[in-house]
């Protein structure tokens, strides 16, 4: 069994709640399924769960380099130099990242509101980009955008390999 879940902001990639964060148990009432790849509590979007250990490894293990696609709202204006740096790979404190695909995109037209909303500064514009990576380091996308001078405000995973969010409402799941 393979489940796709549109993880809201503030939900951990585990069934047990912890501190101020809620757990998957508040959204998914299934037993025997396990997360295939993490998504930070302050990130949103596609999270896959499965009851098949081999499938879980194929999706989550960095050796398989399954692509992950993100919509990222950043503080500041995107430049060609920043997009080129992200595409070539940036050096983080744990070493250089693999090359990525990075492109400027329009703000998503049909995006659910985030609770709580992101901070907006009247004098600092925001931009959106699509970033496709093949690694899964801790907070990698946030660290990559910060490395090019664009702090991440909102991070939404829209795809993992061939599996896509495709309009699944936030907080809901569906068996694939």
Output the domain CATH number for residue 33.
Answer: 3.30.70.580
- Residue pointed to by tokens 């989550």: 60
pLDDT computed for residue 119 by the predictor: 80
Count of CB atoms situated within 10 Å of the CB of 150 = 23
pLDDT digits (tens, 9 = 90+) for 96-155: 999 999 999 999 888 999 988 888 788 889 999 999 999 888 899 999 999 999 999 999
**Could you tell me the CATH number of the domain that includes residue 108?**
3.30.70.1560
166 carries an active-site annotation: no
The answer to whether the beta carbons of residues 12 and 175 sit under 8 Å apart is no
Catalytic-labelled residue, pool 40, 42, 51, 52: 40
pLDDT computed for residue 46 by the predictor: 98
Rounded-to-integer distance, Cα 28 and Cα 81, Å: 42
Peptide bond before 116: cis, by omega within 30 degrees of 0?
Answer: yes
Range of the domain at 14: 1-63+164-176
Task: Please tell me the total count of domains within the chain.
Answer: 2
3-state SS class at 173:
strand
Distances (CA, A) of 175 to 6, 47, 112, 119: 12, 12, 21, 34
Same domain, 44 and 13: yes
Rounded-to-integer distance, Cα 122 and Cα 133, Å: 31
């Amino acid at each position: 069994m393979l489940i796709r879940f549109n993880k809201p902001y503030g939900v951990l990639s585990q069934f047990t709640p912890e501190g101020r964060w809620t757990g998957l148990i508040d959204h998914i009432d299934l037993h025997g399924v396990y997360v295939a790849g993490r998504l930070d509590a302050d990130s949103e979007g596609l999270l896959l769960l499965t009851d098949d250990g081999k499938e879980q490894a194929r999706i989550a293990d960095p050796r398989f380099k399954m692509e992950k696609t993100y919509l990222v709202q950043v503080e500041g204006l995107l430049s060609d130099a920043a997009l080129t740096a992200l595409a070539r790979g940036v050096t983080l404190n744990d070493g250089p990242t693999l090359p990525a695909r990075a492109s400027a995109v329009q703000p998503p037209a049909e995006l659910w509101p985030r609770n709580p909303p992101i901070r907006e500064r009247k004098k600092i514009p925001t931009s959106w980009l699509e970033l496709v990576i093949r690694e899964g380091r801790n907070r990698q996308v946030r660290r990559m955008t910060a490395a090019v001078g664009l702090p991440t405000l909102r991070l939404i995973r829209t795809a993992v390999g061939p599996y896509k969010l495709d309009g699944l409402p936030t907080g809901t799941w569906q068996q694939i």
